[in-house]
Amino acid sequence: MANKSEVKLIGKWSSPYVTRVKIALNIKSLDYENFEENETFNPKSDLLLQSNPVYGKVPVLIHLDKPICESLIILEYIDETWSTALSILPTDPYDRVLARFWAAYIDQKWFPCMQSIITVEVEEERKPYFEVMEEVVERMEDAFEKCSKGKPFFGGDRIGYLDVAFGSFLGWLSVIENEYERKVLVEEKSPNLVKWAERFIADPAVVGLIPETERLVKLSKALQIKWRAALGKK
């Protein structure tokens, strides 16, 4: 096990990508020192800029003074570095490839649609993004059946790589569903995922890490202004 001084995490409480890393550290029962960035990144800390000079983004894991960037890469680093603890990635090569594939799919499709839904001003413009999210849910419902093999999680009997990759977005999904009054995760269409989400949030490694909806809603209104400004909107 690592000493707290050996492992540092640069992040933000609201970031689902940072949440991934926190869950992974919990799975491995690792102590770490948390460095919280300003929510608007104004300004970005010197530590962040020194640790991730290319993108200046969170999360960054610092282990023995060596920075590791990008959440999915960090998950694999944690899994390989502390390999004697509970595994995060599947041990079977094919299962591992499947988990990586679906995690990449989520990153390409899921959060960008959430961001677009929050950013656009006209309800009609949100429809195609909701449709993509519903398509993702449909595909992930099928992926759950194949990956879980009848067990409670994508990772089997306990949460693993794909559970962490997908489940970290549940807080922001709640914001989208509540603010725009359109449910995405519904039992009629995705019964397995609805039950999975309940189990995931209640898992000991996850409890307390998914941000509260009300707090995220307040932040989303500030981000809405920022993102619209970035697109040249008033």
Task: Please give the chain's pLDDT, 234 residues, in tens.
Answer: 566 679 999 999 999 999 999 999 999 999 999 999 987 777 899 999 999 999 999 999 999 999 999 999 999 999 999 998 899 999 999 999 999 999 999 999 998 999 899 888 889 999 999 999 999 999 999 999 999 999 999 999 999 999 999 999 999 999 999 999 999 999 999 999 999 999 999 999 999 999 999 999 999 888 888 777 776 644
Indicate the Cα dihedral angle 44, 67, 105, 157, nearest 10°.
Answer: -120
pLDDT at 3: 65
pLDDT at 35: 96
> What's the whole-model pTM score?
0.94
Domain boundaries, the chain: 4-81, 93-224
Q: Contact, 66 vs 41, CB < 8 A?
A: no
pLDDT at 234: 44
The alpha-helical segments, DSSP class H, found in 120-186 are 123-148, 161-167, 170-179
CATH assignment of 93-224, given 3.40.50.800, 3.40.50.720, 1.20.1050.10, 3.20.20.140?
1.20.1050.10
Name the CATH superfamily, with its identifier, for domain 4-81: Glutaredoxin (3.40.30.10)
**Whole-Å CA distances, 197 to 4, 101, 152, 186:** 30, 20, 10, 11
3-state secondary structure of 163: helix
Q: Contact, 200 vs 231, CB < 8 A?
A: no
Residue type, 67: P
In sequence order, the β-bridge partners of residue 63 are 7, 66
Phi, psi of 61 (to 5 degrees): -100, 130
pLDDT at 40: 72
